[in-house]
Structure 1
């Protein structure tokens, strides 16, 4: 049961981020994507990756390794569009190094609980961004739907292996994810954009 659920969690993690990467690159658009949340999320993934390595959880470290790669691709588009200055990325990289160095002497749980706090706060800027902006063209409904499925799976996985650190973060993140996908779906409906399938290019000037 534990092994099968771990494989399932890994599969959903692989599936949830790549539709967003594909949409961002294919449409060459970053509308609706918070650059701060993306960079913040990469810090979180680095911490979860470290926690996975330390705990010997292959699903955890492998999933976060691919998440870091995928978010790096999205970040490259944000950089090209001038949405985030290189110096800001350098600061986030410094934060990762400092956090890891500070947490290494501490018990492994310190990585997990720090990752929990960073994960929750990393999603908040995206929620605020989605609530504020008018154009949500870059938000992939498929990606966020699978994200909710993945988060729910990880929450259950945490219960199964008796690791509350893996579960608690999703008590906070899942409601925020639901808000994002509902807001994006309403934007598409209001603007005549299909909920699924191919979407028209971003209107000029947006």
Structure 2
């Protein structure tokens, strides 16, 4: 098997795992609809980013980008509409649709490689709302609605994409995978520390915080 073939196989695996990662997160939100901590902005930007990656995959013939991102968009849309937010679900749906269409149109006007970096830039922007939510907005608070199972699956998925990028010399995917892994480790580390802290507190102080604390 050539390096390119191995990279493609790993990309498809990463794509499949990336799709699977949204399932535990959706289930956790459905089970605990009033537990905050999941940034709708991050998942909304994920929708836009994945859609532009689909456009990039179509234009460059990078087929692993297409099927997984299509399914991931569906899961990300569900999370955007399910999480508690100040805007109504109808407003969120319309705004998300209009923004996604606009960004895809912009992507089609760019050269294929530039379109890849455009998708990368959108994706990098999307990481920071969740980092800000987890590290700053929830400081001093207990466990959140973030699914640690989803976080673990995201790590595995991005490691597969990282290997694909190295083997195929795909620079936009390489940078995206490295940045996603870095921010994901921060989010996961903070969330795990808060859950350990909640477990260490005596009853009844930690009773409310432990409700739904495990993914």
1:33 aligns with 2:38: yes
Verify the 8 A CA contact 1:130 1:136 in the aligned structure 2: no
Give matches, 1:165-180, under 5 Å: 165-180=172-187
Residue 124 of structure 1, CA deviation: 0.3
CA distance in 2, matches of 1:82, 1:5: 36
Does the 8 Å contact 2:14/2:159 carry over to 1?
Answer: no
- The partner residue of 2:153 within 146, 149, 152 is 146
Q: Is contact 1:42–1:71 with CA below 8 Å preserved after alignment?
A: yes
Aligned pairs (5 A) from 1:8-157: 8-78=13-83, 81-85=84-88, 86-131=90-135, 132-133=137-138, 134-157=141-164
8 Å contact from structure 2 (residues 142, 198) kept in 1: no
The size of the alignment, in residue pairs, is: 196
- 5+ residue gaps, structure 2: 1-5, 201-208
* Structure showing greater Rg: 2
Instruction: Deviation per CA, 1:112-138: give whole Å up to 9, x if none.
Output: 111111111101010000012124331
- C-alpha distance after superposition, 1:69-106 (max 9, x if no partner): 1112212212xx44433435433332222222222132
Q: 1:170 to 1:2 in 2, by over 3 A?
A: closer
Say which of 186, 194, 198 aligns to 1:187.
Answer: 194
1:192 counterpart SS class: helix
SS of the residue 1:139 aligns to: coil
Task: Indicate conservation of the 8 Å contact 2:15/2:64, yes or no.
Answer: yes
- TM-score of the aligned structures, taking structure 1 as reference length: 0.85
Q: 2-side partners of 1:66 and 1:83: how far apart?
A: 26
**SS in structure 2 at match of 1:191:** helix
TM-score by length of 2: 0.81
What is the SS of the residue equivalent to 1:127? helix
